[in-house]
């Protein structure tokens, strides 16, 4: 297959980037280079921002009811091309086709929710706040917004932001991950076909230079970031100090507590899917199972049984249930975690290094550690790969204390048949996405998404009602005639 050099989409047109450096986009299932992603310059970002800024003056005056008609057309096109898009996600990211279809479906739901803008944008009013004086508040768009996306959900993550931003009357610049730029190429082709006015939605491919320019650009009103915590924190600090709105979603270390009274078949099915779905490259992936008391034996046995059913391979092939990691560097990083677990004395129950995997590509089989303790690296650091740890605890209180000591508080779950334990868990857990008898606590488009503590930097989270708050300013009028 010929290697494609990606273009930018600025002012309603596809334009070549003049970048001299490119990132080689690879198919992680076989290591083949499938594209060159230009690492665009600050000037190219500026061209996109100026186009978005000019378009804002007109777009903000288009009635919300008319703005969402573009989104309805875009949604229909996304549905028509869902399988094509999912195949691209699999090719550039490695997740299986059915996982990719799931992520595309989740992305389309964002467009659904954003089309509620005419209702969601309504303001508030009160007559006679003082004698003869009326007060009302309206929501107004703010200008140009930007998003910076990670590699692990190439189609879905930008959809967490731009449908809401433009439904609210803003204009937008998106920077996909340079590792997986092809999914957004198709998404932007569909945006073009849906007929959005030039400049409303722009795409700039690139890396660090584009991100840093977004964080300091005077004409960008707000930045949405999704990626690792060190970069999230830096983006938050820089963009906020440049007086922008920022929502920066970072990394995760997710714990699943299993009580002895849990339904063990349901539990181990769910924990297995949570840990090894998308090869563990999910911010909602289970990383450590905290087994309370007698739960340990059945959880360990059940997980081993479930893990035997996992078929590792090229995610585009039927029957494959787990794909590769994104690249050679990620594979090396995960292998180093496995080695550190062994060196620190954990019991390697299932060794993914020994799994039968295709010879090319960045594969590691599902891996299970038992006897994990709090002082080990695998117990506390984000692995972002198919490695699950079992850590034994004596009580729910001990499990909660371990989870609460973790800064990357994104998603935590409990498996139990006790309402009392579930309530205590819900009440006390720090992670802002919490599941009860659910392995992947993923809020849908009409609820907000984002973690807590070192996993999230900002105030307003992604999608749901909070999106309408993030992408608008509330202006108050006080009137006396
Ligand atoms: P990453 O932080 O390496 O990259 C994210 C984005 O930031 C990319 O677009 C990249 O080009 C840019 N970037 C990378 N390094 C940069 C730097 N030094 N300066 C400026 N920009 C930089 O993350 P990733 O590896 O693409 O994604 C995996 C991470 O994302 C994991 O930590 C995962 O937990 C996290 N994630 C979090 C969520 C969430 O909802 N909290 C969702 C998905 C992924």
Residue 348 domain boundaries: 254-436
Q: 53 exposed, middle or buried (CB, 10 Å; 0-12, 13-18, 19+)?
A: middle
> To test ligand 1's pocket by mutation, which of 227, 278, 283 has the most ligand atoms within 8 angstroms of CB?
227
Question: Global pTM?
Answer: 0.98
Cα 312 to ligand 1 centre (Å): 25
Q: Give pLDDT tens digits for 385-412.
A: 999 999 999 999 999 999 999 999 999 9
- Shared domain check, 223 and 259: no
Within-domain flag for 450: no
Ligand 1 pocket, residues with Cβ under 6 angstroms: 148-152, 175, 177-178, 207-208, 211-212, 226-228, 231, 249-252, 283, 382, 384, 410, 451, 455
Average the pLDDT over 299-306 and give the result.
Answer: 98
Max intra-chain CA distance, the chain: 80
Cα 265 to ligand 1 centre (Å): 34
State yes or no: is 283 an active-site residue: yes
Within-domain flag for 445: no
Within-domain flag for 448: no
Q: Are 355 and 365 in contact (CB under 8 A)?
A: yes
- Shared domain check, 99 and 80: yes
Within-domain flag for 444: no
Residue 154 pLDDT level (bands cut at 50, 70, 90): very high
pLDDT of residue 3: 85
Tokens 């720090």: give the residue: 430
Residue 322 pLDDT level (bands cut at 50, 70, 90): very high
CATH number for the domain including 306? 3.40.309.10
- Shared domain check, 467 and 390: no
- Shared domain check, 45 and 170: yes
Cα 127 to ligand 1 centre (Å): 48
% of the chain beyond a pLDDT of 70: 100
Q: Are 253 and 288 in contact (CB under 8 A)?
A: yes
pLDDT of residue 88: 98
Please give the structure tokens belonging to residue 230.
Answer: 């060190």
- Shared domain check, 69 and 136: yes
Q: 435 exposed, middle or buried (CB, 10 Å; 0-12, 13-18, 19+)?
A: buried
Q: How far apart are CA 225 and CA 227, in angstroms?
A: 7
- Shared domain check, 472 and 429: no
- Shared domain check, 304 and 258: yes
Within-domain flag for 449: no
Catalytic residue among 174, 278, 283, 389: 283
Within-domain flag for 429: yes
How is residue 345 annotated by DSSP? T
Rounded to 5 degrees, φ, ψ at 38 are -65, 140
% of the chain beyond a pLDDT of 90: 99
Average the pLDDT over 141-158 and give the result.
Answer: 98
pLDDT of residue 168: 98
Q: Give pLDDT tens digits for 58-106.
A: 999 999 999 999 999 999 999 999 999 999 999 999 999 999 999 999 9
Q: Are 96 and 86 in contact (CB under 8 A)?
A: no
pLDDT of residue 1: 59
Within-domain flag for 281: yes
- Shared domain check, 265 and 161: no
Tokens 């920066």: give the residue: 248
Calculate the average pLDDT of the chain. 98
Cα 333 to ligand 1 centre (Å): 15
Alpha-carbon separation of residue 183 from 97, 158, 250 (angstroms): 13, 10, 22
Ligand 1 atom 42: residue of nearest CA: 283
> To test ligand 1's pocket by mutation, which of 150, 225, 248 has the most ligand atoms within 8 angstroms of CB?
150
How far is residue 108 CA from its own chain's centroid? 14
- Shared domain check, 470 and 379: no
Q: How far apart are CA 38 and CA 3, in angstroms?
A: 13
Q: Give pLDDT tens digits for 187-216.
A: 999 999 999 999 999 999 999 999 999 999
- pLDDT of residue 443 exceeding 70, the answer is yes
For the CA atoms of 201, 206, 210, 211, the dihedral, rounded to the nearest 10 degrees, stands at 90
Ligand 1 atom 20: residue of nearest CA: 208
Residue 2 pLDDT level (bands cut at 50, 70, 90): low
- Shared domain check, 237 and 103: yes
Domain count, the chain: 2
- Hey, is 481 helix, strand or coil? coil
- Shared domain check, 144 and 77: yes
> To test ligand 1's pocket by mutation, which of 103, 228, 433 has the most ligand atoms within 8 angstroms of CB?
228
Cα 248 to ligand 1 centre (Å): 10
Within-domain flag for 45: yes
Ligand 1 atom at shortest distance from the alpha carbon of 449: 40
pLDDT of residue 192: 98
User: Closest Cα to residue 25, out of 229, 184, 200?
Assistant: 184
CATH number for the domain including 191? 3.40.605.10
- Shared domain check, 72 and 195: yes
């Amino acid at each position: 297959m010929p290697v494609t050099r990606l273009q930018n989409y600025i002012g309603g047109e596809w334009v070549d980037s003049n970048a001299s450096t490119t990132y080689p986009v690879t198919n992680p299932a076989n290591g083949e280079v499938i594209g060159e992603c230009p690492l665009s310059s600050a000037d190219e970002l500026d061209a996109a921002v100026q186009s978005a800024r000019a378009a804002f003056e007109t777009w903000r005056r288009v009635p919300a009811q008319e703005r969402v008609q573009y989104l309805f057309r875009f949604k229909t096109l996304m549905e028509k091309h869902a399988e094509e898009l999912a195949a691209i996600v699999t090719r550039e990211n490695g997740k299986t086709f059915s996982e990719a279809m799931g992520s595309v479906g989740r992305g389309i739901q964002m467009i659904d929710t954003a089309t509620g803008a005419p209702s969601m944008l309504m303001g508030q009013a009160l007559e006679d706040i003082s004698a003869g004086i009326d007060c009302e508040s309206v929501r107004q768009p703010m200008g140009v917004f930007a998003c910076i996306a990670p590699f692990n959900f190439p189609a879905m993550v930008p959809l967490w932001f731009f449908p809401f931003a433009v439904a609210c009357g803003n204009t937008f610049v998106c920077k996909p991950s340079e590792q997986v730029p092809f999914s957004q190429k198709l998404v932007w082709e569909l945006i073009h076909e849906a007929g959005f006015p030039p400049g409303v939605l722009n795409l700039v491919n690139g890396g660090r230079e584009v991100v840093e320019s977004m964080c300091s650009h005077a004409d960008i009103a707000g930045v949405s970031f999704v990626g690792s915590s060190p970069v999230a924190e830096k983006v938050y600090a820089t963009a906020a100090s440049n007086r922008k709105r920022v929502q920066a979603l970072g990394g995760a270390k997710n714990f699943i507590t299993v009580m002895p009274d849990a339904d063990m078949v349901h539990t181990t099915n769910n924990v297995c899917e949570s840990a090894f779905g998308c090869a563990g490259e999910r911010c909602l992936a289970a990383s450590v199972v905290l087994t309370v008391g007698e739960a340990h034996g059945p959880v360990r046995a059940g997980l081993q049984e479930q893990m035997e059913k996992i078929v590792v391979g090229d995610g585009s092939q039927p029957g494959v249930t787990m794909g590769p990691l994104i690249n050679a560097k990620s594979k090396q990083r995960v292998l180093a975690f496995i080695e550190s677990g062994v060196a620190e004395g954990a019991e390697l129950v299932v060794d993914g290094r020994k799994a039968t995997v295709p010879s090319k590509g960045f594969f590691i089989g599902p891996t299970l550690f038992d006897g994990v303790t709090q002082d080990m690296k695998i117990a506390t650091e984000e692995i972002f790969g198919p490695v699950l740890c079992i850590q034994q605890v004596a009580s729910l209180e001990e499990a909660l204390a371990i989870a609460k000591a973790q800064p990357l508080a994104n998603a935590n779950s409990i498996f139990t048949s006790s309402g009392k334990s579930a309530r205590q868990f819900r009440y006390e857990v720090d992670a802002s996405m919490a599941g009860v008898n659910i392995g992947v606590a993923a809020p849908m488009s009409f609820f907000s998404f984002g973690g807590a503590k070192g996993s999230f930097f900002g105030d307003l989270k992604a999608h749901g009602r909070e999106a309408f708050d993030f992408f608008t300013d509330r202006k108050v009028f006080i009137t006396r005639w």
